[in-house]
């Protein structure tokens, strides 16, 4: 499964890098496979491994902020493994070229 997650506090000013870093720190500490982009973080795992991490990340932000926004999108592809990199590889194969990262 892939989880696309955007989590940040509301009303914390224009820069969110400190709050995003706290969320990414929780994901990294859990040993999950993930990639950070400018707008979200994509995590590979199952419900039981990812959701407790997201809950800890939300609690960590709530310790310092009154309001936290979290948007989660889930891609549950039965039997698929290593989707974090395979999905991009499939697009590259179709285009017959390496994508810019």
Whole-model pTM? Answer: 0.85
Q: Find the domain containing 80 and state its range.
A: 2-95
The pLDDT value recorded for residue 67 is 93
The pLDDT value recorded for residue 24 is 94
* Nearest-angstrom CA–CA distance, 82 and 26: 21
Q: Is 78 helix (H, G, I), strand (E, B) or coil?
A: coil
Residue 83 maps to a domain:
yes
Residue 101 maps to a domain:
no
The pLDDT value recorded for residue 36 is 94
The pLDDT value recorded for residue 97 is 95
Residue 31 maps to a domain:
yes
Domain count within the chain = 1
Q: What average pLDDT values come out for the chain (101 residues) when binned by 10 residues?
A: 92 81 94 93 96 96 92 91 84 92 67
* Nearest-angstrom CA–CA distance, 52 and 55: 5
C-beta separation of 12 from 64 below 8 A: no
Count of positions (residues) in the chain: 101
Instruction: Look at residues 93, 13, 3 and name the one whose alpha carbon lies nearest to residue 57.
Output: 3
């Amino acid at each position: 499964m892939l989880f696309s997650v955007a989590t940040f506090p509301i009303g914390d000013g224009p820069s969110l890098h400190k709050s995003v870093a706290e969320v990414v720190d929780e994901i990294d500490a859990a040993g999950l496979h993930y990639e950070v982009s400018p707008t979200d973080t994509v995590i590979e795992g199952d419900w039981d491994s990812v959701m407790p991490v997201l809950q800890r990340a939300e609690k960590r932000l709530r310790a310092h902020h009154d309001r936290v926004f979290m948007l989660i999108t889930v891609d549950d592809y039965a039997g698929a493994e290593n989707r974090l990199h395979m999905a991009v590889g499939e697009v590259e194969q179709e285009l017959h070229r390496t994508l810019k990262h």
